[in-house]
A = this chain, B = another copy of it.
Amino acid sequence: MTTHTAMEPNGKDVTNILRTAGLRPTRQRVSLAELLYSKGDRHISAELLHEEAVAADVPVSLATVYNTLHQFTEAGLLREVAIDGNKTYFDTNVSDHHHFFIEGENRVIDIPGEGVGIGAIPEAPEGMEIVRVDVVVRVREKR
């Protein structure tokens, strides 16, 4: 009986999720997943997650963080948010929703509730199909 599937509130779930996604639940993947999902919805960059991991005594290399984030994204556990141009954010909220982007601070936050709705979704060009609609509301500190 090697199935040491302890009953830590998160550990177990995460392990299963990873397994289901076809990813071996390695130390670093489990730890990163816990960091990602234990604090509600987040929009995090690879670099920041790496720092958090190191701070949490989970030494992972930056390369592994990148790998992991991409694997999670492919597995549908994360959503890549391309907003800024020079940095990639990963969103732990995979459901359909949109974002505020705070200029200056370079922060991304979810638009709460059903705040936005596209009026009319345009038809895709000939031979194309819509994959997703992203709405980014850019805001800045009011002065």
| Contact of B118 with A117 in the complex, beta carbons under 8 Å | yes
CA distance A142 to B130 in the complex (A): 9
Tell which of A6-14, A28-36, A52-60, A121-129 binds the partner: A121-129
**What is the size category of the interface that chain A forms with chain B?**
35 or more
Q: Which of A37-70 contact B (CB under 8 A)?
A: none
Distance to closest chain B CB from A36 (angstroms): 19
CA distance A88 to B128 in the complex (A): 23
* Bound: A124/B80 CA distance, A: 23
Quote the shortest CB–CB distance from A129 to chain B (angstroms).
4
Q: For window 69-102 of chain A, which residues contact chain B by CB distance below 8 Å? A: 80, 82-85, 88, 100, 102
| Chain A interface residues (CB < 8 Å from chain B) | 80, 82-85, 88, 100, 102-103, 109, 111-113, 115-125, 127-142
